[in-house]
Structure 1
């Protein structure tokens, strides 16, 4: 008769039925194993966090002004000076030298405010358009995006008010009638 490994036992061996699944389950509960291959890691949300910070930064820039706005404003001032060098009415000189510069600054700041609004809104509404996620955006991401959205809205209102001279009108030229 052929002997199989289970038939040939020595005195030191015992016949123990080992439940491999139970050992694996207990071993996994210790947390020292590599995670199972079917588990998907939680997304890092680094893109959403970065976009939220960008939205807040754009909102602050929209309120405080930019180097680009200053340069374009100075350019408009120079163009106005060149246009009015040959003469013209005082009202046209004021508009060409100061008004166009003021409106250019308002337009650039309004552009940054609009970008802040769009990026902040995108970060806030993005989860609504994807598949349901077990890991929602962190609270700080939503808070910073909302801050960027609010700063962008305030910046846009101020820029519109500046552009349409709602806060302060251009000075008027004295009339020369005598």
Structure 2
């Protein structure tokens, strides 16, 4: 015996919620909820109650909308993180390369220091002091500025590689982003060592006067 009750075409549609009044500042959840309820209301009256009531209670509908919004926000966040990581990796590699080849900033600062050294060399008491004022200080400033750039490149590359493990667990970087980041790490570490040795006169010490 079929116990399914067929909806009465003449009966009022009491099972469906009345359309919500349109508001100027209605959010996304309210709009989606109103659309789903409107679809249920417009369904043919001859359909069975089971066909027109697929568990569309207010609580279940709200949960479904929240899950959909969470998935959309998560996908947007993943895209944003990927773009940021790629840009950071490229910037880190560029900084490491510029530091090793010599930046315009370091050259300008070195030339300024050379001018200062020429002024100070007038009052230099010894030849060593004059050499230090004319050349040593400028070389040290060049090594210092390029060393700072190399350090920034190294830190930025390490941050890009470490972020998926700490800031966003479960996410992996694209292969090319990891490759560029590791290249930036190598360039940055090489620059830190090279310019550190130059700054402390280990790699290229100042010449001594006869």
TM bucket normalised to smaller: 0.7 to 0.9
Q: Matched residues in 2 for 1:19 and 1:144: separation?
A: 56
State the partner residue of 2:89: 52
Q: Does residue 1:165 correspond to 2:197, yes or no?
A: no
Q: Matched residues in 2 for 1:19 and 1:141: separation?
A: 50
Q: Matched residues in 2 for 1:156 and 1:132: separation?
A: 30
Structure 2: tracts of 5 or more residues without a match: 1-6, 11-45, 53-67
**Of 168, 171, 179, which aligns to 1:143?**
179
Deviation at 1:4, TM superposition (A): 3.9
- TM-superposition CA deviations, 1:30-68 (whole Å, max 9, x none): xxxxxx655332612111111000110111011011111
Q: Does residue 1:111 correspond to 2:148, yes or no?
A: yes
Structure 1: tracts of 5 or more residues without a match: 7-14, 21-35
State the partner residue of 2:192: 156
**Of 164, 167, 173, which aligns to 1:127?**
164
Q: Matched residues in 2 for 1:148 and 1:83: separation?
A: 39
**Of 39, 56, 74, which aligns to 2:71?**
39
TM-score by structure 1 length?
Answer: 0.74
Q: Say how many residue pairs are matched.
A: 150
Deviates more, 1:87-96 or 1:71-80: 87-96
Q: Matched residues in 1 for 2:155 and 2:177: separation?
A: 15
Deviation at 1:159, TM superposition (A): 0.2
Q: Does residue 1:78 correspond to 2:115, yes or no?
A: yes
